[in-house]
Every structure is written in structure tokens, then in C-alpha cells.
Chain A
């Protein structure tokens, strides 16, 4: 992997001068560090999709796509350095892949007029485009994820959560605490008892938390973890024989990495997802043919079809579609970051768009506007089958509870606007 990284870095250096006309999609990846197992498949998927477009279609609208990688190791300072190092290279869009990096980049991308897409992470209230003009978090954010989880539990409980107990087991940091306001509001609305149990980084030892869960016997657990915390939590849940049907992780706690170490113990574990799972999509046949078999894959080619690889492909697909719409709207093939931002603000992803890209029903349909940078917050539930070692969607993509999530987003974005002296509005 590190050799690949070195090759990519060399490639970047060599190719930098003559490739100024390329469409540049910097990849702030993390192939090293404690979270590398999650960062590598995403980065591979992101790069492989653009390689596919170059190899199969000759790029996007006749322009080759270039994906310079910069290693952040999931470290906020390094992430900001990567942004500063790559932004003058014609960067069209940033996907920083870290909530910490996102928070640091929000004022920077706004000042530099470069859009940032934080898909399923980052600042949730960035959905309000009237305040966060350059930040987009479609198709779903953490509050949508919390709502989707509760909606599923509601369905499991026959339409009522009255008197039930839901526990949020979460990373003890900004990311893990994100869903708490939503869950508190949902608890009030649906009449369930809610409590949150934090886990300190890195989360290799969770005995206290699971003993507490065993004593308190919650009906359902929602889980916001990342890295080794995920594998340990799922193993501990299996150890105390918690019913996996009632244990659900957010999308960052729902990949093959998280469930495989627990073996059959993880059978039935669920996760919220904002994109489809598995490799049964035409685009993957093309990726194998034009990218992997041609020796042009970003990684070893062994991640195709895994949850996090799919997420990388989906992120690249959404960026490529925005670039196409920017080209169409401006009647030019060479677009800049301002055009890209405007296109993202009017992005429309339909069933036809996904079908045409070889990704039928891969994600929800959604439309973006200035007022709404996050779409309808559609998410689906996936479940792990330990026998076949496969994730599969067990529900359709469904919208979040807008009556709860909407006011929270308004309140949080208004607070940000006040402290940053931003006058909300659409230009």
C-alpha cells in the first residue's frame, strides 16, 4: 500500500506540469495510521471510479480526471496541510473524510470558493446552504442516520417505542456526540427512554460499557464508533449475547472490517447506510475490466464491492455527476471550482442518472438547492449475514423525520451564522 502511495506521489509530481487542464479531484486519504483499514478501501474506490471514467469514457466531457492523493493519516493538522498543498492545483472539490478536518476547512473553502462534500460526516447543520454556502452533505447526515435508526426500531416494535429503552453507545468525541440532540428530541416525541454511554479513544477495552448495558438491558442500541472501537463493540455484544437484531451501527460502523472479526457472533448486526452494498452492479464489472484487470487500480483490487469501497465509488460518482452538470450548465469542458459549487447546488440525482452510470438503485434519488445542501436525508438499513459474509439492504431508502431534524438544523446553523457573522441567504 505504501508503495502504491509512493508511486502515486511520484506520479503527481511528474504529471503536475502538463496536466493543468485536467479536472482535479484531490483525495485526502488515510492509508496509514489506526484507521487505515477504513481509509484504504474508500480511497481505492474514489480513485478507481475516476480511472474508469478516464479509461472507458476518455474522462468527463472529454477532460481527463486527475485524483492527486494526499495522506492525512486521519489527522486534522495533516488534513489542513493537504488542503493547502493541493488547492492551487485546480482543485474542484474536497472530500476531507474526517469531521475534524471538515470543521477546520469550512471557513477556508468558503474563502477560496471551492466546494466541500462531507458525505455522511462533518458538520450536520451544513445542510443549511443559506449559511454554509460551500459545504454540502448530501445524501444524508448523522441526524438523518439517527432518525433512520429510530424509525427502524419503531417498525420493529410494531409502530410504538413507548416505554422502550434505547442506548447510544458512542465514541467520546464530537463525532460520537453528534446524534445526541436528535435522539433526545426523538425520545420526547416517541416516548422512549434514552441514555448515552461514551467510549474513550481508541476503544480496545469496553468491558465497563458492556457490563452497564448488560445491567440496564436496553431494548435497542445505536452505535457511533470508528476504528478498533467497532470490532470490539460487536465482539462484546456477541459475548453478552445481546440480540444483534436490535444492535445497529451508523454507516461508519457498518463495514466488513467491523463484523468479520466477531465471526458468527456478528450475525444479524445492522447498520444504517446511505448507499447500496455488494458488488452486483454493472459499474463493478467495468471497474474490473478497465481498471483492476488493466493493472490500473489504486490498491490491490481486492476491495471491489466492499461497503467502504462502494462508498468511495459513490462519492466519486456524485462528484463526477456534479462536474458533468457544471460542464453542461456553462457550455465548457474545462470547469473551475466556482462552476462546480454552483452545479452542486443544483445537483439532481435520479434513478436514470444512476442507471446510466451502472449504479441502479445504488443510492437515494435527491435534489439539491441553495436552501438544502443535504437532500432529503434518505437512508436504508443493511444487515450482516455471517454465513455468507455479506451485507444486504433490508429496507428501502426512506427519509429522515424532518419534523425533528429540520428545526435542529435551523437552530445549529443559525448559531454558527451568528458566531461567524454570516448573513444567511441565497445569492
Chain B
């Protein structure tokens, strides 16, 4: 088999894995947009905030330690304990639920009925607020995230493909884990949305707020629930991306990777986020592999957005988005 074909297969598989990671970020956007019509600019910062909180809890860091020390002249930084990863994840989830309650109570409850652009701007404010709070709460240094996820080349795939092609494929163990978790997460979300009372209520709210309210669905509860689920998705994305780069401010920029996925897959479709992520992941990697060397490389961001733009032109609602027909 020609070398370029073998290399192309490796790039294709890695593109799929990268796409899963993009889809993880995009999922959080979709959930909130689907249920409330809000494009949540703060989704990337939520991933950062949740990952910061997770590391802080695991390491027994005193929240707002720098602030407390500056005000009271104390020297407290750590509680002196280490929390196991599973327990820390559960506690972080609790923090994200609390955040969802606060967001709903102090921000969006007061903005019911406002134009979508107002709600969008509120999420911009929320992003900056969370960024600052995360910084003061946990500090801005880069933190190593150790939740026991495997990293590095998968030797089984390496050896097997070497046996087949005389060239071992590189597949990162972390990407395999991320794929498995994404499958579980999406399955759980679909089951939740289709087969639970709360899930059906969420879908009802997504379809028509007024109609849902008229049959007794609590808009307040549903929105808190949706923001909590989006917080959980943000935590998962934060763990996966944080394991690659350490937990740091730049985690919030992963949202940049989700935008073309959303444009392509549609803002209202969970399968769209997955398929969109895979198309973007594979497309940008294959384009970089085939065309990158001819034009000096670093084509991935460009390609992702151009592909999304092409989809927008021909299918504005995205691959799986709902076509909006407004009757006059």
C-alpha cells in the first residue's frame, strides 16, 4: 500500500478523535441553545471554571486563598488534604449546579422575554465574571490535572497496524478514552431527553415556552437543569482538554473550536454536534495533510471556518438544525 495512503488513514483516524473532542465542547452550546434559545458565550469559560474547581478541590486548595491572605494578612493556601478524583468530580458537579442556580436566579430570570441578542450579551458578561472569579478563587498558574486518564500512544494499535502496513499508527490513549466518554455522554443525554419526565419537559420548553408553561412545566426548574447539564458537559470537556495542556486560562479558548462545529451541525441538534465535530475534525486534518505542505501549513482553523461558511450558505440551519419558518 502506498505510504501516503497509509499516512492518510492515520490522519483520518486522528481527525475522528479530534472531532470527538470538538463535539464535547459543542454539546454544551447545543443543550442551552436548544432549551432556552441562548447562545452561551460562557460555555468555554465554564469548562475552564469547572476544571479549575476540580483541581482546586482535589489538591485541597483554599478557595480565594490569595484574597483572604491579602485582606487578613494570613498565610493559608491549602487545607492539607487531597480529595480522590471521583469524589472531587462529584463535588465539582455540585459547584456547577450551584452556579446554574445562581445564573438562573440572578441573571436570566430577570431577562425573560428579552431579545436573543440581550441574552447573548448577558452570557458575555457571565464569561468575564466567571473568568475573574475563577482567577481569584483558584489562582492563575497552570495546574496539572491528574484524574488517572491514560495518555500517550496506544501500543496495541501501534503494533497491530505495524503488522498490517509496516507502519504503526499513532492513536492517543486519551483520545480513545474521550471517544468512549463522549459515546456514553451522548447516549445518556438522548435517554434522558427521550425517556425521563424532566427530559420530556426540557424538550417541551425547547419547542414552545408558552405552551410548556401552560401545561405546568416550570421554566425556572428546566433552565436550571439545562445549565447544570451544560455545566457537567463543560466539566467533561475541561477534564479532557485540561489533561492535554494542564488547566489554565487558555482552556476557555476551546470554544473557538466549537463554533464551526455548531455552524455545520446546527445549534439545536445533539447528533448534529457529534457529526459536525467529526466532519470538522476529519476535514481539517485531511486538508492539512493534503494541502497544508503546499501552502505553508497551519490551515486547520481556516479550513474549519471556511467549511462551516460553505454549509451556512447552502444550509443555514446546519446539517441537523431545525429550519425556522416564520409566518407573517
- Which chain A residues have a beta carbon within 8 Å of chain B's beta carbons? 1-4, 7, 31-34, 36-37, 40, 172, 196-200, 202, 204-205, 207-212, 214-215, 227-228, 231-232, 235, 238-241, 257, 260-261, 263, 265, 295, 300
Query: Which residue of A36, A197, A205, A238 is within 8 Å of B140 (Cβ)?
Result: A36
Contact B70 A208 (CB under 8 A): no
Contact B135 A34 (CB under 8 A): no
Residues from chain A with a CB closer than 8 A to the CB of B249 are 33-34, 36-37
Q: Contacts A40-B141, A202-B256, A208-B284 given; 7 further ones with Cβ under 8 A?
A: A196-B297, A198-B297, A209-B297, A231-B142, A231-B248, A232-B245, A241-B153
Q: CA of A207 to CA of B284 in the docked complex: distance in angstroms?
A: 11
Known: A3-B70, A205-B18, A239-B153. A37 touches B142 (CB 8 A): yes
B108 at the binding interface (Cβ < 8 Å): no
B132 at the binding interface (Cβ < 8 Å): yes
Residues from chain B with a CB closer than 8 A to the CB of A36 are 135, 140, 249
Contact A208 B245 (CB under 8 A): no
Instruction: Bits for B238-256, please: 1 = Cβ < 8 Å to A, else 0.
Output: 0001001110111101101
User: Which partner residue on chain A sits nearest B143 by CB separation?
Assistant: A261
Query: Which residue of A7, A204, A300 is within 8 Å of B244 (Cβ)?
Result: A204
Q: CA of A325 to CA of B11 in the docked complex: distance in angstroms?
A: 58
Contact A200 B285 (CB under 8 A): no
Query: Which residue of B66, B142, B172, B288 is within 8 Å of A257 (Cβ)?
Result: B142
Contact B297 A197 (CB under 8 A): yes
Q: CA of A214 to CA of B161 in the docked complex: distance in angstroms?
A: 15
Contact B14 A207 (CB under 8 A): yes
B87 at the binding interface (Cβ < 8 Å): no
Count of chain B residues with a beta carbon within 8 Å of a chain A beta carbon: 49
B73 at the binding interface (Cβ < 8 Å): yes
Contact B151 A3 (CB under 8 A): no
Q: CA of A208 to CA of B289 in the docked complex: distance in angstroms?
A: 7
Known: A235-B245, A241-B153. A208 touches B11 (CB 8 A): yes
Closest 6 pairs (CB-CB, A-B): A261-B246, A228-B250, A198-B298, A172-B298, A208-B288, A231-B245
Q: CA of A335 to CA of B52 in the docked complex: distance in angstroms?
A: 46
Known: A34-B250, A208-B288, A228-B248. A239 touches B140 (CB 8 A): no
Contact B285 A2 (CB under 8 A): no
User: Which partner residue on chain B sits nearest A260 by CB separation?
Assistant: B144
Residues from chain B with a CB closer than 8 A to the CB of A205 are 18, 21, 257, 300
User: Which partner residue on chain A sits nearest B73 by CB separation?
Assistant: A295
User: Which partner residue on chain B sits nearest A40 by CB separation?
Assistant: B140
In residues 71-124 of chain B, which contact A (Cβ within 8 Å)?
Answer: 73
Task: Tell me if B's interface is mostly helix, strand, loop or mixed.
Answer: helix
In residues 213-264 of chain B, which contact A (Cβ within 8 Å)?
Answer: 241, 244-246, 248-251, 253-254, 256-257
B139 at the binding interface (Cβ < 8 Å): yes
User: Which partner residue on chain A sits nearest B254 by CB separation?
Assistant: A204
Q: CA of A300 to CA of B11 in the docked complex: distance in angstroms?
A: 45
Contact A204 B245 (CB under 8 A): yes
Contact A239 B245 (CB under 8 A): no
User: Which partner residue on chain A sits nearest B284 by CB separation?
Assistant: A208
User: Which partner residue on chain A sits nearest B66 by CB separation?
Assistant: A300
Q: Report 19 cross-chain contacts, Cβ distance below 8 Å, ordered by A residue.
A: A1-B135, A2-B135, A32-B140, A33-B249, A37-B141, A204-B253, A205-B18, A205-B257, A207-B17, A208-B300, A209-B297, A211-B10, A211-B11, A211-B170, A211-B289, A231-B142, A235-B244, A238-B151, A239-B152
Residues from chain B with a CB closer than 8 A to the CB of A215 are 7
Contact A34 B253 (CB under 8 A): yes
B67 at the binding interface (Cβ < 8 Å): yes
Q: CA of A205 to CA of B135 in the docked complex: distance in angstroms?
A: 24
Residues from chain A with a CB closer than 8 A to the CB of B142 are 37, 231, 257, 260-261
Contact B245 A263 (CB under 8 A): no
Contact B246 A260 (CB under 8 A): yes
Contact B135 A32 (CB under 8 A): yes
Residues from chain B with a CB closer than 8 A to the CB of A31 are 140
Residues from chain A with a CB closer than 8 A to the CB of B70 are 3-4, 7
User: Which partner residue on chain B sits nearest A258 by CB separation?
Assistant: B142
B37 at the binding interface (Cβ < 8 Å): no
User: Which partner residue on chain A sits nearest B65 by CB separation?
Assistant: A300
Residues from chain A with a CB closer than 8 A to the CB of B136 are 1-3
B292 at the binding interface (Cβ < 8 Å): yes
User: Which partner residue on chain A sits nearest B172 by CB separation?
Assistant: A239
B301 at the binding interface (Cβ < 8 Å): yes
Q: CA of A202 to CA of B70 in the docked complex: distance in angstroms?
A: 33
B296 at the binding interface (Cβ < 8 Å): yes
Q: CA of A360 to CA of B71 in the docked complex: distance in angstroms?
A: 37
Tell me the smallest distance from the CB of B172 to a CB of chain A, in Å: 6
Instruction: Bits for B269-291, please: 1 = Cβ < 8 Å to A, else 0.
Output: 00000000000000011001100
Contact B18 A261 (CB under 8 A): no
Contact A261 B245 (CB under 8 A): yes
Q: CA of A209 to CA of B284 in the docked complex: distance in angstroms?
A: 12
Tell me the smallest distance from the CB of A388 to a CB of chain B, in Å: 16
Tell me the smallest distance from the CB of A305 to a CB of chain B, in Å: 14
Residues from chain B with a CB closer than 8 A to the CB of A211 are 7, 10-11, 14, 170, 289
Residues from chain A with a CB closer than 8 A to the CB of B17 are 207
Tell me the smallest distance from the CB of B151 to a CB of chain A, in Å: 6
Query: Which residue of A37, A199, A235 is within 8 Å of B298 (Cβ)?
Result: A199
Residues from chain A with a CB closer than 8 A to the CB of B14 are 207-208, 211
Residues from chain B with a CB closer than 8 A to the CB of A204 are 241, 244-245, 250, 253-254, 257
Residues from chain A with a CB closer than 8 A to the CB of B145 are 261
Residues from chain A with a CB closer than 8 A to the CB of B300 are 200, 205, 208
Q: CA of A31 to CA of B249 in the docked complex: distance in angstroms?
A: 11
